[in-house]
Structure 1
Amino acid sequence: MFFLSLLGSFILTRLVRDFATARGWVAVPTQERHLHKNPLPRLGGVAIFVSFSLSLGTAYLLALHNPRLHSLSLKALLIVVVPASLVFLLGVYDDIYGAGPYFKFGIQGVAATMLFIGGLRIVNIPVLFGQHTLPWFVGLPITVLWVLAITNAFNLIDGLDGLAAGSALFSTLVAFVVALLSGQPLIAGMTLALAGAILGFLKFNFNPATIFLGDSGSLFIGFLLSALALQGAQKAPTIVAVAIPVVSFGLPILETALSVIRRFIAGRPVFTADREHIHHKLLQHGMTHRQVVILLYGVSAIFALLSLFLLWPTGSSLGLVLAVLGVGIWIGVQHLGYLEFGELARVAQRTLDQRQIFINNLAIRRATEELKVARDYEQIRRILVAAFGSNDFDAFGLSVKLQPGESLALDSGPGRKSELSFHWHKPGRPKSLEGLSVWTLTLDLASSSNCQRGSLAVHRLYSSRDLQIDVNLLTSAFPTTLADALDRTLAHTAQIIPLPEQDSGLITAQAG
């Protein structure tokens, strides 16, 4: 079956390519997300579907005359092939005329329901429901969701020459091994036929491609693999039935999950196409088209090998697979540099930092209350040092305008001063911030009586760490309260009053 399908696909792909080109059924690179430069035919799925079907048909005819092949039941074949053919026709229509996402989901949903009616369904989910069999009204939507997710996942990664077909080939080989070891000859035969069809097509689809897989191919392959996973689940142990397909489809599932999550985070429609897929990000990192495809082939191979570890499920093997997957996906996503996930990580970190933000906010609120009862200028300075010494600011400078008749004994000296200044820096920080990269927030100090009392400038060295304080607390009541405190304390501070020139003494009077 494999070699027949391989040969048929190799011959048919060339014929389909030439026919589609002659009819003008080509993909024209009109959008920025398109990576090809010249128009190329899109109906590569036709060659895969026809060669797969011919191979299955030939195998069935041989089975009629060979008792050892009686396991190829016509009914079992039709349960999978008929809805898969419907999805294939949907893909052909989309390749030629174009179809909207909801129309495509609708047809795929009908095909998935046909699988469910035929007995290919998800009957339990041990992780969520234990070993209890799901009622049909629960199993049906879960089955449809599974089929739609896998079908469109392979469609989603079809963005580089040979990527979707190559990734599907690895998943198909895993399905073949599992079917062979679990004694399911029908699935083994179908996966062999599919693998041969994909491999024959890849000769023309690998970079530089002369034909695209198209929706006729990606939707058909994705649907068929999801259906074969359901069929294999009917006889396989639970861990094999559930975990192995999920892991073996790792790359398309990961791409789908990332696309949905990042578009949701960014507030964009989930079905909107963009240039933010995994392969796009790798190209942006300077890799060539072919290097990206080979790298992602390697990723698909790793997913395939990890899924085969689960053929002999033990606590240690399952833990190893989950650990490798978790670490690998985390490192990979970090390396890709998605802005959406960077922002999500920042928000998550800020959530973890809420306790420190609470402490810093409380320090500003406490300072605001203490300023309302401050008795003198020295106490105001102590309050400010205590408030800013416990938060993320590195320095501050207080500049106070003195009103006529105001002065301070502690600032006395030659001449009369019109302004007071006080500078503070956090221990361990440079005394002078000149020449350093800092940002500054300057607060104008206007009292409740609209008296301008100067300004307070708070400084912070640039850092990758977020500012852990609510800046609104500094820009609302705090400046006015500080200005009122300066008004009140300076008006009641001892003044220095010069006597007539003949008297060299000083009389200290309390302003009242």
Structure 2
Amino acid sequence: MTIIFLGTFVGALVLSFILTKLVRDVATLRGWVAAPAQPRHLHNRALPRLGGVAIVFSFLIATGSALVVTRLMRPELSPSLRPLLTILPPAILIFLLGVYDDIRSVGPYWKFLVQAIAGAMLFAGGLRILDLPVLFGAHQFSWITGLPVTILWVMAITNAFNLIDGLDGLAAGSALFSTLVVFVVALLGNLSLISLITLALAGAILGFLRYNFNPATIFLGDCGSLFIGFMLSALALYGAQKAPTIIAVAIPMVSFGLPILETSLSVLRRLISGRPVFTADREHIHHKLLQRGMSHRQVVIVLYAVSAVFALLSLFLLWPTGSTLGLVLAVLGTGVWIGVQHLGYLEFGEIRRVAQRTMEQRQIVVNNLAIRRATEELKVAESFQQVGRILTAAFDSNDFDAFELRAEVAGRGFHLVDAEDLPQLRWSKPGMFATIEFGDAWSMTLPLVTAGGELCGNLIILKRYANRDLQLDINLFTSLFATTLAEAVHRNAMQNVEFMPTTDNPSLLPAQAG
């Protein structure tokens, strides 16, 4: 059987190598090319599509030949063809959908409809999801629930591989790693037909990569990416019927890690930003890496390495002990978290900021209450000293680092800080005023206008840039607090100022009492 496996792989590889060049030339002559018509396109010249045609025909010829040879030479090893007959018809349907889309274009909803039909065909053929592992055991599904879950799985994986087909060789290379994982799992599970199918698919993909790796001369096309994604989803479903639940579910999920991660991020990003889920953009993982200055080829190699890590981690789950599962989950979680942070998606940064603000709501409530309490106390303040104590108490327990009150009386301004006989209405946390000159703080100036419309000064509030976000409702300052403080300043300033007429100006000028 080893010779048949090896012959299948090599045969598919050689066939794909030959057919890809032929398909490329025919597609170019017929004008079945993809022009760089949109900003998200990264190629700079029109290139032929339909690379999947070479992969599919190479796969079919290699698989069929291997089965014929096996039946003739080793009939006792000839496997049952039922799995192949279950998978192949809907796979061909998906392939034809992709061919039509590459030539004429198909809307997303029509694609989903055909994919749902293909998933239902697998379900009818016995490839279905009827249970899923949860923390406290497996949850059994009825067929009413299992049918949509199966269809959802097929559609998710099929479109995931289609979604990452944005760089030369990326989708095909990632699929190659996933296919090899399915082969290893099938081989260890004595699933000879699945092993044969995956080897034929892997050989066809590898032969195609000769022309698809950067700089590509032909694209995989929807006919290729959709077919590969569907085949892998179907092969994973077949393995789920023959393997323990944890292996059946966890290994495909991890081995398809890169396309699943890309799909999840894309859907979440668009939902968070309020854009339609099907809107194309330039914020996929490979776009983000390109924006960081990496070359096209470097990005593909990095993502190949990521796919290889996902594949390797999935193979650890072949021996699903508690420690192994914990290690895989820890590595995956840490790696994905660091990777997403490194990519710098604005949407997730905003979600993190909102979550942080939610956790800080208690402090915001405390700070808001301090300002509201100060507002009530200022209404009955009887001196500048009392105003100063009220403001100091409010700001000392708040997020601001300093304040300075500047009062104006009867049209002439003076700084209470410099007034000899008035209390100094100036406060800061230790060392704050010493840092202002270095420009590491921002300030906000509140004009103090009484209810009667008279300007009686300004309150300058300062906060260091390096500190955390402001934990306060800023509207509290600009509404009742500012007016109440203005009334308190006006009321108490009049107690300390004597108005005297001058010969230069008939208006009253403020003079220092005493």
TM-score by length of 1: 0.92
**Structure 2 counterparts to residues 76-475 of structure 1, below 5 A:** 76-127=83-134, 130-403=137-410, 422-431=425-434, 433-463=436-466, 465-475=468-478
For residues 51 and 405 of structure 1, what CA distance do their matches in structure 2 show?
91
Instruction: Return 367-376 or 424-433, whichever deviates more.
Output: 424-433
Q: How many residues are paired up? A: 495
Give the CA deviation at 1:408: 12
8 A contact 1:446–1:453 mirrored in 2: yes
TM-aligned CA deviation for residue 54 of structure 1: 1.1
Q: Report the residue type matching 1:295 in the other structure.
A: V
Residues 127-184 of structure 1: CA deviation (Å, up to 9, x unaligned): 1783342101111111111111100100011111111000000000000000010111
The letter of the residue matching 2:428 is H
Verify: 1:58 aligned to 2:65, yes or no: yes
Quick check: 1:407–1:490 contact (8 Å CA) kept in 2?
Answer: no
Deviations, residues 208-239 of structure 1 (Å, cap 9, x unaligned): 11100010000000000000000010010111
What are the residue-to-residue correspondences of 1:12-31 with 2, within 5 Å? Answer: 12-31=19-38
State the distance in 2 between where 1:488 and 1:267 align.
51
RMSD: 2.4
d(CA) in 1 for partners of 2:413 and 2:61? 101
Amino acid at match of 1:396: F
Per the TM alignment, residue 481 of structure 1 is displaced from its structure 2 partner at its CA by 0.9
Identity of aligned residues (%): 65
**Aligned-residue offset at 1:117:** 0.7
Name the CA distance, whole Å, in 1 between partners of 2:29 and 2:36: 18
Q: 1:68 aligned to 2:76?
A: yes
Structure 1 unaligned segments of length 5 or more: list them: 499-507
Question: What amino acid does structure 1 have at the position aligned with 2:306?
Answer: V
TM-score normalized by the length of structure 2: 0.92
CA contact (8 A) 2:407 2:416 kept: no
Q: Structure 1 497/250 Cα, relative in aligned 2: closer, same or farther at 3 Å?
A: closer
C-alpha deviations, 1:6-57, integer Å up to 9, x for none? 1111111010000000000001011111111111111000000111111222
Cα distance change, pair 247–413 in 1 and its aligned pair in 2 (3 A) = closer
How far residue 358 of structure 1 moved from its aligned partner, in angstroms, is: 1.7
The answer as to 2:484 corresponding to 1:485 is no
The separation in 2 between residues aligned to 1:411 and 1:294, in whole angstroms, is 67
Counterparts of 2:415 and 2:218, CA distance in 1: 86
Q: 1:409 to 1:174 in 2, by over 3 A?
A: closer
Structure 1 residue 424, shift from structure 2 partner: 2.2
* Kept in 1: contact 2:406–2:459 (CA 8 A): yes
Q: Secondary structure at the match of 1:125?
A: strand
Deviation (angstroms), 1:347: 1.3
| d(CA) in 2 for partners of 1:460, 1:424 | 12
> 1:353 & 1:71 partners in 2: Cα distance?
62
Tell me the secondary structure at the aligned position of residue 192 of structure 1.
Answer: helix
1:4/1:55 contact within 8 Å kept: yes
**8 Å contact kept, 1:407–1:494:** no
> In structure 2, how many angstroms separate the alpha carbons of the residues matched to 1:333 and 1:410?
51
The AA in structure 2 aligned to 1:161 is D
Q: CA 1:495 to 1:192, structure 2 compared with 1: closer, same or farther past 3 Å?
A: closer
Q: Cα 1:413–1:430, aligned 2, differ >3 Å: closer, same or farther? A: closer
Distance 1:408 1:150 in 2: 70
Residue type at the aligned position of 1:469: L
Instruction: Name the CA distance, whole Å, in 2 between partners of 1:444 and 1:286.
Output: 48
Give 1:223's aligned amino acid: F
Q: CA deviation at 1:438?
A: 2.8
Aligned to 2:431, the other structure's residue is in SS state coil
Looking at structure 1, the residues matched to 249 and 416 of structure 2 have their Cα atoms a distance apart, in angstroms, of: 82
The answer (yes or no) to whether the contact 1:436–1:461 under 8 Å persists in 2 is: no
Is contact 2:27-2:50 (8 Å) kept?
A: yes
Change (3 A) 1:55 1:450: same
Cα distance change of structure 1 residues 129 and 96 upon mapping to structure 2, 3 Å threshold: farther
Matched-pair contact (CA < 8 Å) for 1:439–1:460: yes
**1:304-344 deviation per Cα after TM superposition (whole angstroms, max 9, x unaligned):** 00000000000000000001001111111111111111111
Question: Quick check: 1:371–1:482 contact (8 Å CA) kept in 2?
Answer: yes
Cα 1:3/1:408, change in 2 over 3 Å:
closer
What SS does structure 1 have at the residue aligned with 2:399?
coil
Q: Structure 1's 50 and 384: CA in aligned 2 closer, same or farther, altered over 3 A?
A: same
SS of 1:271's partner is: coil
Shift of 1:406: 12
Letter in 2 for 1:445: L
Deviation digits for residues 67-95 of structure 1, max 9, x if unmatched?
Answer: 2333132x321110100000000000111
Residues 454-463 or 189-198, more deviating:
454-463
Moved more, 479-488 or 265-274: 479-488
More divergent stretch after superposition (444-453 vs 280-289): 444-453
Letter in 2 for 1:123: L
- Structure 2 regions of 5+ residues with no counterpart? 1-7, 501-512
Amino acid at match of 1:33: R
Q: Tell me how far 1:439 sits from its aligned partner.
A: 2.2
CA distance in 1, matches of 2:414, 2:286: 69
Indicate if the aligned counterparts of 1:438 and 1:460 stay in contact, CA closer than 8 A: yes
Structure 2 counterpart SS, 1:450: coil
The verdict on how the C-alpha distance between 1:91 and 1:405 changes in structure 2, with shifts beyond 3 A counting, is closer
Structure 1 position 409, deviation (Å): 12
Deviates more, 1:215-224 or 1:467-476: 467-476
Letter in structure 2 aligned against 1:23: R
Q: Which is further off, 159-168 or 402-411?
A: 402-411
Given the superposition, is the C-alpha separation of residues 71 and 404 from structure 1 closer, same or farther in structure 2, using an over 3 Å criterion? closer
